[in-house]
Amino acid sequence: MERVRKISMSPKTDPTGRLRKLFIKSRVPLFALLVCALSVAAASTSRTNRTASSLRMQTTGSFKLRYVAVKDHGLAQIEKLIKESKLFELLIDDSNKSLKLPVDITVIFRECNGKDEDGKDEDPTNAWYNPNNHSITMCYGLIKKSEDLFKNNEKTEKDLDEAVLGSTAWTFYHEMGHALIDIYKIAHTGKEEDAADELSTYILISSGDAGEKAALDGAEDFYREASEDNDLSEEQFADVHSLSKQRFYNIICWVYGSNTEKYASLTEGADAILPQGRAGACEGEYQRIAKAWQNLLASHLKK
Ligand SMILES: [Zn+2]
C-alpha cells in the first residue's frame, strides 16, 4: 500500500540535463488546472457506462483533510508549503464533487515518527493507505525528501515548490488509487501498485498541462530516487512495487502515449529519454489505462 519501499538513496543530479529541459517545458501554474483533475477524468466516462452497473452501497462518505502540526523544525518549511498552497483542499474538494464514497476517507498530512499497527517504526519518508481505518497518510518526511532530490535542479524557489507540490499530488492520487481499489472492491490484474500508478497518472494527465507537469514531476522524483549504481537487492526485485526506474519510465510512457505529438521530444531527437523500443507501445498503453479506469469508476461517479 505504500508509495515506496524504504531504500536509502542519495540526492543526485542528472548529468545530461535532459530531464530538466523536458520538465521545465510546461509552465502552466499548477493550481490553475489541477483543481479539476478528477472531475475532468470523470467527465471522460460515458453516461451509459455510469448507469450500467449501479452499486447498492451507501454514498454518504467523503474525503476529509487533516493536518497534524510537526515538531521537527526541519519539516516546518515543508509543512508551510503544503498548507499554504491549499492544493490538497482543492484536490479533495474536487474529488468529493466527483466520487460517491460509501465511507469517509481521511487524508492526513503529518510527521511520521510513531509505530505502525505491527509495532514497527513508521517509515518517515513514505505515504500509505490504511484499509483498516480508511486513511491516507502523507508523511512530511517524504515531501521533504522530494524537495532534497529536486533542490539542485530547479532554477527558482517557485519552480522547486511547484515540482515538490506536483510530485506530492502524484503521490496523493496514487494513494487514492489504493483507497478506491479497496472501498469499491475494484478488480485488477497485475500489481496493485502498478494499478495505483496508472490511476494517478491518468487523473493528472486528464486535467491538462498542469496535471501532465505534475505527472512528470512524479516521474522525475522516481528517477532521482532510483539507485545510481544499480546495486539492487533481491528484496527490491521481489517487492510489491515496480523498481523506481521502471515507475519513472511507465509514467513517461503514459504521458507520451496520451499525446504523442505534443510529447514527441520524449522519444525523438537529442533530448529523447524514452527508448524507441517502449515508445511504440505507449499510445495503446495509455488508451487501455484510460478506458479501464473510466469503466472501473463509472458507477461510482456523482454526475
Ligand atoms: Zn502504493
Ligand 1 (ion): which residues have CB within 5 A?
Answer: 193, 196
Could you tell me the distance, in angstroms and rounded to a whole number, from the CA of residue 194 to the centre of ligand 1?
8
Q: Phi and psi of 35, rounded to 5°?
A: -60, -20
- Distance separating alpha carbons of residues 276 and 284, to the nearest angstrom: 14
Write down the domain spans for the chain. 18-37+45-228+235-300
Q: Using an 8 Å Cβ cutoff, are 151 and 122 in contact?
A: no
Could you tell me the distance, in angstroms and rounded to a whole number, from the CA of residue 269 to the centre of ligand 1?
34
Could you tell me the distance, in angstroms and rounded to a whole number, from the CA of residue 242 to the centre of ligand 1?
10
Position 23 scores a pLDDT of 47
- Distance separating alpha carbons of residues 25 and 263, to the nearest angstrom: 10
Angle at 38 between CA 173 and CA 183, to 5 degrees: 60
pLDDT by residue for the chain (303 residues), tens only, comes to: 666 543 333 333 443 355 555 544 444 444 444 556 677 777 766 555 554 444 456 778 999 999 999 999 999 999 999 999 999 999 999 999 999 999 999 999 999 999 988 889 999 999 999 999 999 999 999 999 999 999 988 779 999 999 999 999 999 999 999 999 999 999 989 999 999 999 999 999 998 889 999 999 999 999 988 865 568 888 888 889 889 999 999 999 999 999 999 999 999 988 799 999 999 999 999 999 999 999 999 999 986
Could you tell me the distance, in angstroms and rounded to a whole number, from the CA of residue 296 to the centre of ligand 1?
18
Could you tell me the distance, in angstroms and rounded to a whole number, from the CA of residue 233 to the centre of ligand 1?
19
Identity at 244, one-letter amino acid code: S
Could you tell me the distance, in angstroms and rounded to a whole number, from the CA of residue 178 to the centre of ligand 1?
7
